[in-house]
C-alpha cells in the first residue's frame, strides 16, 4: 500500500462519533495509511455544555484532540467525516467547518479528495441517510470523489446495512445499539484503497 494521507474529522457530543473516528483510524492504519484524527471546533456556549454531564465529559475526553484546519484538508488525500445527525442534517459545528473552506475550494485544492461519511442518531430512522446525503452534497461541490461502503462486505449487514456510510443507533444510556466497529474499519480501508487508486492514476 502507498502511504495515503487520511484525515478523520469528527464532531461528537456524547462520544459516539469520537469512538467511530478512532475505529476508522485503526482500520486505515491497518491499510497502510498515515492518519490524523481531528475534531471540529465546538460552537455551543460553555454554559450549555456545563448543564449536560455527557456533553461535558466528551469535551473533556477530547480536549487533547487537535482541531481541524484548512491545512489538514489540504494535506489529506482522503477524508472521513463522522458526525451525529441534527434534524436530518450534519451539526452546525461541522457545517461551519465546511463553510470556512471556501479558500481551499476556490483554489481547486478540494478537487479529487476521496471522502466518506459516518453518522449516528437515537433512532434507526432518525435521519442517518439524510445526514450523510447533506454531507455528500457539499462534497459534490468540492469536486471530491465520494467513496461509500455500498454493500461491499458482509460485515455491513451486521451494522444495519447502510450503503451511504456506517450509521449507528444510540440508546437512552448513550450505548451503541448495533455492532459497527467492523463496518467502520471496512469503510476506512475502502476509503484508503480508493484514495490509493486515485493517487496512482493521477501520477
Q: pLDDT by residue (tens digit) across 24-60?
A: 999 999 999 999 999 999 999 999 999 999 999 999 9
**DSSP bridge pairs for 6:** 35, 78
CATH number of the structural domain spanning residue 127: 3.40.50.360
Range of the domain at 192: 5-201
Closest CA to 79 of 135, 163, 1: 135
Q: What is the pLDDT of residue 2?
A: 60
Give the chain's mean pLDDT. Answer: 95
Say whether pLDDT at 1 is over 60: no
| Cα torsion through 164, 119, 183, 30, rounded to 10 | 110
pLDDT digits (tens, 9 = 90+) for 140-191: 999 999 999 999 999 999 899 999 999 999 998 889 999 999 999 999 999 9
pLDDT at residue 203, as a whole number:
62
Structural domain count of the chain: 1
Amino acid at each position: 500500500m502507498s502511504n495515503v494521507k487520511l484525515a478523520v474529522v469528527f464532531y461528537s457530543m456524547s462520544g459516539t462519533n469520537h469512538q467511530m473516528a478512532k475505529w476508522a483510524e485503526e482500520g486505515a492504519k491497518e491499510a497502510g495509511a498515515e492518519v490524523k484524527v481531528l475534531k471540529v471546533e465546538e460552537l455551543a456556549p460553555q454554559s450549555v455544555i456545563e448543564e449536560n454531564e455527557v456533553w461535558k465529559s466528551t469535551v473533556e475526553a477530547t480536549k487533547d484532540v487537535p482541531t481541524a484546519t484548512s491545512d489538514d484538508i489540504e494535506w489529506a488525500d482522503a477524508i472521513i467525516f463522522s458526525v451525529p445527525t441534527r434534524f436530518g442534517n450534519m451539526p452546525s459545528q461541522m457545517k461551519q467547518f465546511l463553510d470556512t473552506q471556501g479558500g481551499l475550494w476556490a483554489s481547486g485544492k478540494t478537487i479529487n479528495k476521496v471522502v466518506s461519511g459516518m453518522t449516528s442518531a437515537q433512532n434507526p430512522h432518525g435521519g442517518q441517510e439524510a445526514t450523510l446525503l447533506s454531507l455528500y452534497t457539499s462534497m459534490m461541490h468540492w469536486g471530491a470523489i465520494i467513496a461509500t461502503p455500498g454493500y461491499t462486505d458482509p460485515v455491513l449487514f451486521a451494522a444495519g446495512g447502510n450503503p451511504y456510510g456506517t450509521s449507528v443507533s444510540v440508546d437512552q444510556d448513550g450505548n451503541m445499539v448495533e455492532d459497527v466497529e467492523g463496518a467502520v474499519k471496512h469503510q476506512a480501508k475502502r476509503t484508503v484503497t480508493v484514495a490509493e487508486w486515485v493517487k496512482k492514476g493521477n501520477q
